[in-house]
Amino acid sequence: METNMSIDTLARPDTRTETIEMPAPTAWPIILAFGLTLVFAGMVTSLSVSLLGAILAVTGCIGWFREVLPHEKHETISAIETIRPVSTRRPRVAAVKWMTEELHRARLPLEVYPVRAGVKGGMAGSVAMALLAVTYGIISGRGMWYAINVLAAGFFPGRHPLSQIGEFQWDSLLIASVVHLLVSLSVGLLYGAMLPMLPRRPVLLGGLIAPILWSGLVHSFIGLIDPILNQQIDWLWFVFSQVGFGIVAGIVVSRQQRIPTPQHLPLAVRAGFEVLARFDQKNGGEPR
């Protein structure tokens, strides 16, 4: 341990000495503080208290000045070095061995999907879900525009909800498409980010369990956000189309090529300002 210390402590000659200079104790700060407090205390008692405080404060100031000017006063403390080694009860470091020995201290997850994988998955899922929803409209006999009009109904509070629910309306189609694509895109991105962290059965988790969970979530709050949708919704088919989205998006995302996680790279490299000269992809070694 002695050798360790010499590496880890700065071997400057002035710190090697047996004595150490520390600032000398002084009473002037407390006298100045007491004086100033008395100056203020005089405002609620009597002027004489303030006067006494002022005298003390001035004395404290002068004393303090003489303490530090022209040279700061020091006292010398003798230090007898008995360097006690820094030791630990747990010298062994538990290495992360469930993958490979070499991956000790790796940044997890080792690989992630690129952003475009999430975009692709979201888009593919959105197509699958739209097809299922339109199919439902046709099978149930409510018309193929039914699902689209219901989705957009919250944006048209003045329109009578059930009058033209099965007919084509261009503004409903526009709004429903924007809502559908935006939500699909964000869920797809979330899939891209989360699937590497759920390594076991990604399609089961992402395709089945996650859609059922968020269907439950939607079931609990949709009445507040979009009451019309809430009245009209057929929950079985809703879950069906969500699961359709989940499975398609999950499969599309998991078929994309993974890239090594860039979390440990310097910001300049990640932002594309600098290019790495050498970068060991396998275990993400030191980029420098």
Partner 1 sequence: MSTESIAWPSTAAGSRSFVETLHEWVTTVDHKRLGILYIIYALVFLVIGGIEATVIRIQLIRPHNDFVSPQVFNRLFTMHGTTMIFFVVMPVLFGFANYLIPLMIGARDMAFPRLNAFSFWMTAFGGLFLYFSVVGANGLYGAGNAPDVGWFAYAPLTSQTFSLGHSTDFWTLALLVSGFGSIGTAINIVATVLCMRCPGMTLAKMPLFAWLNLVMAGLVILAVSPLTAAQIMLLVDRYLGGHFFDTQAGGSAVIWMHFFWIFGHPEVYVLVLPAFAFASEIIPVFSRKPIFGYPVMVGATVAIGFISMSVWAHHMFTVGMGAAANTFFVISTMAIAVPTGIKIFNWLATMWGGKIEFKTPMLFCIAFLFQFLIAGLTGVMLGAAPFDWQLGNSYFVVAHFHYVIVGGIMFTLFGAFYYWFPKMSGKMYSETLGKLHFWLFVIGFHLTFDFMHIPGILGMPRRIYTYEPGRGWDTWNLIVTIGVFFQAAGILVFLGNLIWSYFRGELADNDPWDAWTLEWSAHSPPPAYNFALIPTVKSRRPLWDLKHPDDPDWKYE
Partner 2 sequence: MSTTTIPPVTAELEWNLPSRGQVAMYSLITAEAAIFTIFVVAYLFYMGKSLSGPMPSEVLTPPILYAVCLLSSSLTIHFAGKNLRDGNVRRFGAWWLLTIALGAIFLYGTASEWHRLIYKDGLTITTNLFGTTYYSLVGLHGFHVVMGLLGLTTVMVFTIFGMVQREHAERIDVLSLYWHFVDAVWVVVFTVVYVIGR
Q: Contact positions toward partner 2, by CB under 8 A?
A: 7, 10-11, 65, 69-70, 102, 104-105, 280, 283, 285-286, 288
Of the pair 154, 287, the CB lying nearest partner 2 is at: 287
Which two tokens mark 170?
């261009």
Q: Is 74 helix (H, G, I), strand (E, B) or coil?
A: strand
22 interface partner picked from partner 1, partner 2, none, CB below 5 to 8 A per type: partner 1
Q: How many residues does the chain have?
A: 288
Least Cα distance to 255 among 68, 122, 113 occurs for 113
Which two tokens mark 208?
């089945």
Whether the Cβ atoms of residue 213 and residue 142 lie closer than 8 Å to each other: no
Minimum gap (Å) between residue 212 Cβ and partner 2: 43
Distance CA 281, CA 261 (A): 9
Of the pair 95, 212, the CB lying nearest partner 1 is at: 95
64 interface partner picked from partner 2, partner 1, none, CB below 5 to 8 A per type: partner 1
Strands 74-78 and 19-23: antiparallel
Minimum gap (Å) between residue 9 Cβ and partner 2: 8
Minimum gap (Å) between residue 52 Cβ and partner 1: 13
263 interface partner picked from partner 1, partner 2, none, CB below 5 to 8 A per type: none
Cβ atoms within 10 Å of 118's Cβ, excluding its own: 25
Of the pair 4, 140, the CB lying nearest partner 2 is at: 4
Whether the Cβ atoms of residue 190 and residue 250 lie closer than 8 Å to each other: no
Q: What is the DSSP letter of 12?
A: -
State the DSSP string of 18-34.
Answer: SEEEEEPP-SHHHHHHH
Of the pair 36, 173, the CB lying nearest partner 1 is at: 36
230 interface partner picked from partner 1, partner 2, none, CB below 5 to 8 A per type: none
User: Is the Cα dihedral 203, 205, 209, 210 positive or negative?
Assistant: negative
**Which residues of this chain interact with partner 1, rule CB under 8 A?**
1, 4-5, 8-10, 12, 15-16, 20, 22-30, 32-34, 36-37, 40-41, 43-46, 64, 67-68, 77-84, 86-91, 93, 104-105, 286
Of the pair 33, 197, the CB lying nearest partner 2 is at: 33
